[in-house]
């Protein structure tokens, strides 16, 4: 059956909306291109073909996946120091898998480097369990740097334990006017010297940070559009 031409702009708009939504979906490490997530899986270039990003540890080596629960490979969450356990509020963003450094909780971790094949103007993500104790006298802290050509630092965000919390999410986000971000560097600089692990997740390679909650207006628009198309087909 030939559809009326007036349906085509609406259909095109809906397809564009779905495409934009798909592009904005962050890397949550719950799915891995060409494989499946698992505890200890090395993450390096799996997302290069689809999103143009690679992951490495400064000084050599690659980060690995951690899974919520035993064994403890990234952090102890909650007052009971439960292994790799985000808070109840953080679970929506963390899911079951996230990225950690070498899979060992101990000395300060090496910096995580995320490199782009093509420069971008925005990026965002979260760190988990950036702790602070004794009114901030003892704290974990991570510095997130957006870097340009030759690894020159363009912008910096510091995530300090006293402002985050045990098993909680600490979001960061860069938005720039130019596509000049060639890499992201995440490094540790807190004064706590042991029992530390990197926990990184919900990475949007080219988008500002947004919590993982669907916008009611977007859902309503899509539903309305699909309903209109359906009624016109009938």
pLDDT digits (tens, 9 = 90+) for 167-183: 889 999 999 999 999 99
CA angle 181, 170, 175 (to 5 degrees): 25
pLDDT grade for 9, boundaries at 50, 70 and 90: very low
State residue 163's pLDDT score. Answer: 58
Determine which of 11-20, 29-38, 52-61, 205-214 has the lowest per-residue pLDDT on average: 11-20
pLDDT digits (tens, 9 = 90+) for 66-101: 999 999 988 887 667 788 888 888 888 899 999 999
Please give the C-alpha separations between residue 135 and each of 77, 88, 131, 180, in angstroms, as whole numbers: 18, 23, 11, 38
Contacts of 85 (CB under 8 A, 6+ apart): 68, 69, 76, 77, 78, 167
State residue 101's pLDDT score. Answer: 94
Quick check: helix, strand or coil at residue 10? Answer: helix
CATH class of this structure's domain 27-211:
mainly beta
Share of the chain above pLDDT 70, in %: 76
pLDDT above 70: residue 162: no
State residue 78's pLDDT score. Answer: 67
How far is it, in rounded angstroms, from Cα 53 to Cα 27?
Answer: 11
pLDDT above 90: residue 217: no
pLDDT grade for 220, boundaries at 50, 70 and 90: very low
State residue 91's pLDDT score. Answer: 87
pLDDT digits (tens, 9 = 90+) for 11-32: 444 434 434 444 468 999 999 9
Go through the chain and tell me how many residues it has: 234
pLDDT digits (tens, 9 = 90+) for 99-110: 999 888 888 999
State residue 166's pLDDT score. Answer: 79
How far is it, in rounded angstroms, from Cα 57 to Cα 112?
Answer: 5
CB burial of residue 36 (10 Å; 0-12, 13-18, 19+): exposed
């Amino acid at each position: 059956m030939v559809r009326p031409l007036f349906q085509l702009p609406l259909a095109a708009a809906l397809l564009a909306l779905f495409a934009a939504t798909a592009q904005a979906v962050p890397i949550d490490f719950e799915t891995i291109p060409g494989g499946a997530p698992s505890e200890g899986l090395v993450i390096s270039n799996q997302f290069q073909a689809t999103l143009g990003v690679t992951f490495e540890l400064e000084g050599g080596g690659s980060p690995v996946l951690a899974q919520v629960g035993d064994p403890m490979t990234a952090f102890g969450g909650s007052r009971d120091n439960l292994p790799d356990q985000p808070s109840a509020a953080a679970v929506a963003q963390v899911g079951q898998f996230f990225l950690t450094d070498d899979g060992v909780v101990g000395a300060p971790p090496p910096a995580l480097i995320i490199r782009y094949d093509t420069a971008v103007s925005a990026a965002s993500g979260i760190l988990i369990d950036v702790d602070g104790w004794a009114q901030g006298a003892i704290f974990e802290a991570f510095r997130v740097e957006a870097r340009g050509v030759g690894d020159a630092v363009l912008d910096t965000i510091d995530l300090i334990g006293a402002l985050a919390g045990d098993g909680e999410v600490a979001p960061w986000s860069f938005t720039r006017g130019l596509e000049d971000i060639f890499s992201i560097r995440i490094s540790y600089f807190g004064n706590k010297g042991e029992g530390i692990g990197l926990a990184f997740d919900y990475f949007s390679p080219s988008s500002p940070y947004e919590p993982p909650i669907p916008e009611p207006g977007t859902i309503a628009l899509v539903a309305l559009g699909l309903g209109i198309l359906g009624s016109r087909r009938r």
